[in-house]
Amino acid sequence: MLLNQGGLWMHTRKPEWSDMEWQVRNWLYFTWLSGDHIVEQHVHNLDVMNWALKAHPVKATGMGGRQSRTDPAYGHIYDHFAVEYEYPNGVRVQSMCRQISDTATRVGENLIGTKGTSNASGSIRGANPWRFDGKRTNPYVQEHTDLIESIRAGKPLNEGRQVAESTMVAVMGRMSAYTGKEVTWEQAMESNTEPDAGETGIWRSAGSAGRRSR
């Protein structure tokens, strides 16, 4: 499961900007605003995996760091993560995401089972091969079509639980990478860590599985 891409934009700080304005204008580089890029972008891949496995992970063991974006102008988020998620029944998922310029780009998922493989995007290879042959639609248009149709039909479309769980999966991976500790689902759910907009830019309060040093 990958979301590997190049570097992104950054607004150079102007003398008249306060700390708050500088951070807001560069929101993607501060955990309290973006959640770090594992939460802000890689969450979409994690959501696909939750959907495919019909569950959320029970634990995460991760690592990451700042290999390229070391200048303070890029806030304090990492530029790469690698997390092993363990799902129920011992299923393992290898998750990687990176934002480093001049590197190979690849975004997608690959599922490997006892009877075949799938790219989670329209095809299955193996004992029971399958390929989607229907009309490809723009997913950003389709999600609005589904929402509007559900409202008109009086059948609310509520995906709040799935969205919340996928976000927590990303947060759990971030917590593990920041601390170097294995983090369970229960620890993540019970944690009182909260990103801080202050001078440290890290945590306002932290439990045993939530603290990292600057």
Residue at 195 is within a domain = no
Instruction: Give the pLDDT confidence of 11-45 residue by residue, as tens digits.
Output: 999 999 999 999 999 999 999 999 999 999 999 99
Residue at 12 is within a domain = yes
Residue at 60 is within a domain = yes
Residue at 75 is within a domain = yes
Distances (CA, A) of 82 to 50, 65, 85, 123, 156: 17, 10, 10, 26, 37
Element (H, E) at 112: strand 111-112
- pTM for the predicted model, two decimal places: 0.85
Beta-bridged to residue 96, according to DSSP, are: 2, 82
Residue at 203 is within a domain = no
Instruction: Give the pLDDT confidence of 96-109 residue by residue, as tens digits.
Output: 999 999 998 989 99
Q: What's the rounded mean pLDDT across residues 45-50?
A: 96
pLDDT at residue 173, rounded to an integer? 96
Residue at 213 is within a domain = no
Name the domain count of the chain. 1
Beta-bridged to residue 17, according to DSSP, are: none
> Given pLDDT bands bounded at 50, 70 and 90, which one contains residue 199?
very low
Residue at 205 is within a domain = no
Q: At which residue do the structure tokens 């290898």 appear?
A: 94
- Name which residue leads in pLDDT, 126 or 1: 126
Provide the CATH number for the domain around residue 39. Answer: 3.30.360.10
Q: State the DSSP string of 156-194.
A: ----HHHHHHHHHHHHHHHHHHHHTS-EEHHHHHH----
pLDDT at residue 121, rounded to an integer? 86
Q: Which residues contact 145 (CB under 8 A, 6 or more apart)?
A: none
- With 60 as the cut, is the pLDDT of residue 66 above it? yes
pLDDT at residue 195, rounded to an integer? 64
Q: Which domain holds residue 65?
A: 2-190
Share of the chain above pLDDT 90, in %: 78
Q: State the DSSP string of 26-81.
A: TGGG-HHHH--HHHHTTHHHHHHHHHHHTS--SEEEEEEE-SS--SGGGTT--SEE
Residue at 207 is within a domain = no
